[in-house]
Structure 1
Amino acid sequence: MVNRLLKIAFVALFLTASCSKDESIQENAIVISDAQRTPMSAMEVKHKIDESLQTKGSFNWKDASTHMLWSASVHGQNIITIGFGNNSNDFDRSKSTNNAAVQKQLLTIIQQYEGQALSEILINADPYLNLMDVVIKNQETLIALRQSKFIRYIEPGDFKYFALSGSIEKSDSSSTSSGCGFDATTLNVSDYTTVTPNAKAPWTFYQHNIPSAWNYSTGAGVTIGIVDTGTSPNQTLLGSNFNDGLSSGRTIQKFGVYVDSIWPWSTGTDGPNDQCGHGTSMASVAAAPRNDNGLPVGVAYNANLVTYRAASNVVLDGYHEQNGVKNAFTALGNNNNVKIISMSMGHIFSVGKISDGVKYAYNKGKLIFCAGGTSTSFTTFVGVIFPASMAETVAVTGVKEGTSNQACDVCHTGGKIEFTVAMQRNASGNTVPVTSYYDNQSDYVGGSSVATATTAGIAALVWAKNPTWTRTQVLNKLRQSATYFPTKNSEYGYGNINALLAVQ
């Protein structure tokens, strides 16, 4: 094999403790074989990822070769996300005294190797996190950057894994594989109990003693953040009638951070409104009002809600989806009123910028619940998905009626699972009744998605009952009330939470 020797200027950077720098240009030889000057195909990259997932149970871009990393970026508009800092935990700009100097010097390296002006390279520098999105076309640039001690991670910013094979999650109410659907269904009378003033309490609530827990707490004074696809503008119970029936004195706020564009430089969001249906269902099960309209009530029906449209669907595949989720987490982290965050979306391997956003919110004291995974057939080999797999999150999955150790037909299990929620009936296979996308309509929703939002609602009941408690105290109380406490099950965590015990 013929090798070509390229002599490229390498910027050697030295930072002192006071953040001053001594820069010098050294001549370093970077050798790239002819074979590696041709990028791998997108499917070849995907197969490498799948191989790691199947053999190791995980995949991280830091373990990929530079050639594979570069190839993935070629198939994603040459966008690269760089997480930088003095160590692996140095992600918060406010706590990193030399972040501006490090960022500037990394950009200098990129300019040297790319031969481009800064305006052609830098797409975005996050205001809260030590990360930036850049355009890198040359493999040599990535080699040089990976040699820097200030790099926490380098990842392709727009490689669409799921576009090559399908999606990660399928909503039980939807015919699509993106978790989206606007279905309306007449509920089976055996799947709910009518409670005053004329609301429907889903069957699953009784599996967890939630109606009995309402005698002690209804979530008043606690704010839940929902990171999802937004909230329907056509469901007034999650809008102007959020205070309806026995729900009063609370607020719902809606934000949009998702940019609906193929161009990474686009910054205009498409607003807070749900264009998928999934986010509306999650908001409903967590905190829909105890209404007098004959529709399903949420778990914490007196809690406040802050909802974010962070992505177009539950499959976080691509630059703007992942950027939106990261931005939602940092915004919720900065919201002092929010105590609990629930996200029923994910990816099958780690995404650096989302990880940083989750850690940022966690370090602000938020209790974060994430879906363990609800799969179509092609991801059956995947255990608990990201970011539910992170130490900073609480992973939840769904189980069948009357059990805490029989997964729903499409639910993931694994060692990272903390809690389970009964959400699939044995005889009918029906899932959880929710208030639907349009006024006066209801639907069924299942999977680990609805299990996660249910658990977030139960946590709100506990925190409202004990408003001075810390996140750790609330989480420990949930564990103590669950099926398997104190011995964690290897696949189902602590099992089903008994909400009544949790609030007593």
Structure 2
Amino acid sequence: MTEQNSRTSRLGWRRLLAATAATGVWTACLTGLAPSVAVADDIQSQQWYLDQMKAEEMWKVSQGEGVKVAVVDSGVDSSIPTLRGQVLPGKDLSGGPRDEMKDRDGHGTSMAQLIAGTGADGSVKGIAPKAKILSFKTGGDPAGRAGNGAVLFMGETIRAAAESDAQIINVSLAGGPDQVTRKAIDYAVSKGKLVFAGTGNEGKGGNFRQYPAALPEVAGIAAMGKSGKVADFSTHGRDTTLAGPGLDVPAWCDGKKKKYCVKGNGGTSAATAITSGAAALLWAKHPDWTANQVLRVLIKTASGTNKGKGRSKYLGYGGVRPRINLLEGKGDPGDPDISPLTGEKTINSRAGQKSSPGKGSDKDDAPDKVKVADSSSDDGSSNVLWISLGAVALVIVLSGGAFAWARARRE
């Protein structure tokens, strides 16, 4: 990667993202906005989606064992009880102290535990508790925090994750378009990786397209609540592939990791992490599948798909439901080499497999590209404050207007 490309990446992520309030400025100060609970409390009782997704039943079939998920974020604190023994070395490209196992922000650690937390000491339990996390720390803040400039090295960090042996790449961050990130995603797909990214939390703030979720090879994840309806803050449109639980989801209140915040927390960040964990469950059960097949089954078994609604601009193909495959055996994986997102053949799509590629049981029943029929019938009426875990917003003035940088989260 040339110095010019690296510079382009940083500028691109700085320049575009969220619409601001009338003043053109927003301030993210969140921790005090949501009720918190001490770590010693049983936070699992507040993970409402575990019951809805029938996690205990799914875990009898698969817990994600053998699958690795790269978390591109603010770092992952591997010392907390729920993540002890769950985090493997990745890489730190934050520009700060070189240690991807440290997380001064708390966001990356929250995402990792939603994916693969063991639930030790009554803490958060991940949807795939036997999967492993690889931490890839992005940033730009000299102190190593993600709150100020967290996406400045996004493309470089995604490329590093693509070079690892992780099968899934979780990006619970967002920014503006740039060529370095686009090329990194292309590279990741060519290596057989399955990439999930949050669509963003701009549903009430301009609804701008956010990257990398807006790239055609990336599965964009929206946030939904207990009712199965889209959260009103969730960015919507043609980039939405699936939806995951993203409202009232436990997360660390701040980088100190002493308390969880629940009410109002989550966002497309959490929805993306839970969806990555759902993919890990499927891949552990079907290690011979490719990334295309895992994603195709998630799409075909989503909550909206079986109701004949087609694709919605709010929830995509619907809420993610790995239990439909794990417990009911439904969902044809289809062609291993054809992307269900683009309908095109991916290069080296078998790279993420554990063994030889599987055979789709009936290719006619598993179209290479799922048909899209836009629907706006989903209700986005949740009354939730638009907030994020970061404590600082980076304000940029472009073309006479003020724009703010933000990560794709709702906490």
Deviation at 1:207, TM superposition (A): 2.2
Give the C-alpha shift of residue 187 in structure 1. 8.5
Q: What TM-score, normalized by structure 1, do the two folds share?
A: 0.55
Give the partner amino acid of 1:255. Answer: K
Whether the aligned pair in 2 keeps the contact of 1:344 and 1:453 (CA below 8 Å) is yes
2:380 match? none
Q: Judging changes above 3 Å, is the alpha-carbon distance between structure 1 residues 387 and 133 closer, same or farther for their aligned structure 2 residues?
A: closer
The answer for the alignment partner of 1:390 in structure 2 is: 215
Structure-2 change in CA distance of 1:391 and 1:192 (3 Å): same
Cα offset for 1:185? Answer: 2.0
Name the CA shift for 1:483/1:190 in 2 (closer, same or farther; >3 Å): farther
CA displacement at 1:316 relative to structure 2? 8.0
Aligned to 1:332: 161
Can you give the 5+ residue segments of structure 2 that lack an aligned partner in the other structure? 330-411
Partner residue, 1:253: 89
Distance 1:362 1:463 in 2: 16
Deviations 1:470-496 (A, max 9, x none): 111111111121112162123311111
Q: How does 1:44-59 map to 2 (within 5 A)?
A: none
Alignment of 1:401 onto 2:226: yes
Stretches of structure 1 that go unaligned for 5 or more consecutive residues are 1-123, 135-152, 194-200, 243-249, 261-267, 425-430
The question of 1:185 aligning with 2:60 is answered: no
Specify whether residues 325 and 219 from structure 1 end up closer, same or farther in structure 2 by C-alpha distance, changes over 3 A only.
same
Paired position in structure 1 for 2:125: 297
- 1:412–1:211: structure 2 CA closer, same or farther, 3 Å change rule? farther
Displacement of 1:222: 0.3
The alignment status of 1:483 with 2:303, answered yes or no, reads yes
Task: Identify the residue that residue 443 of structure 1 maps to in structure 2.
Answer: 261
Q: 1-side partners of 2:147 and 2:70: how far apart?
A: 19
* Mapped contact 2:66–2:284 kept (Cα < 8 A): yes
Question: CA–CA distance in 2 between the matches of 1:439 and 1:399?
Answer: 25
Using the alignment, how far apart are the partners of 1:209 and 1:361 within structure 2? 31
What is the aligned-residue identity percentage? 23
Mapped contact 2:65–2:130 kept (Cα < 8 A): yes
Superposed CA deviations along residues 264-311 of structure 1, whole A, max 9, x for unmatched, are xxxx746541111111110110111142x1112111100011011102
> 1:394: Cα distance to partner?
0.4
**What do you get for the CA RMSD once the two structures are aligned?**
3.5
Which AA in structure 1 matches 2:321? N
Q: Using a 3 Å threshold, how does the CA distance of structure 1 residues 409 and 376 change in structure 2: closer, same or farther? A: closer
Residue 225 of structure 1, CA deviation: 0.4
Shift of the 409–213 alpha-carbon distance from structure 1 to 2, 3 Å rule, reads same
Report the CA distance between 1:223 and its aligned residue: 0.2
Normalized per residue, which structure has more strand?
1
CA apart distance, 1:208: 2.3
Q: How does 1:404-443 map to 2 (within 5 A)?
A: 406-424=229-247, 431-434=248-251, 441-443=259-261
Q: CA deviation at 1:161?
A: 5.3
The CA distance in 2 between the partners of 1:157 and 1:383, in whole Å, is 15
Distance (whole Å) between structure 2 residues aligned to residue 315 and residue 160 of structure 1: 16
8 A contact 1:398–1:422 mirrored in 2: yes
1:234 positional shift: 5.2
Partner Cα distance (2:6, 2:291) in 1: 33
Matching of residues 81-480 of structure 1 within 5 Å: 125=2, 132-133=5-6, 156=11, 160=15, 165-166=24-25, 174=31, 185-186=37-38, 192-193=44-45, 202-232=47-77, 235-238=80-83, 241-242=84-85, 252-260=88-96, 269=98, 272-291=101-120, 293-311=121-139, 317=149, 321-335=150-164, 337-347=165-175, 349-375=176-202, 380-403=205-228, 406-424=229-247, 431-434=248-251, 441-444=259-262, 445-480=265-300
In the comparison of the two structures, how many residue pairs are matched?
313
Contact 1:222 1:464 in 2 (8 A): yes
SS at match of 1:297: coil
**In structure 1, what is the Cα distance between the partners aligned to 2:227 and 2:155?**
37
Q: Secondary structure at the match of 1:185?
A: strand
Distance 1:449 1:166, change over 3 A: farther
Contact 2:17-2:208 within 8 A present in 1 as well: no
- Larger Rg belongs to: 1
Between the aligned partners of 1:323 and 1:299, the Cα distance in structure 2 is 29
2:127 is matched by which residue type in structure 1? Answer: V
Worse-matched range after superposition: 409-418 or 154-163: 154-163
1:395 and 1:418 in contact (8 A); partners too: yes
User: What is the CA–CA distance in structure 1 between the aligned matches of 2:146 and 2:318, rounded to whole Å?
Assistant: 25
- Between the aligned partners of 2:40 and 2:317, the Cα distance in structure 1 is 30
Deviation at 1:420, TM superposition (A): 1.1
3-state SS of paired residue (2:122): coil
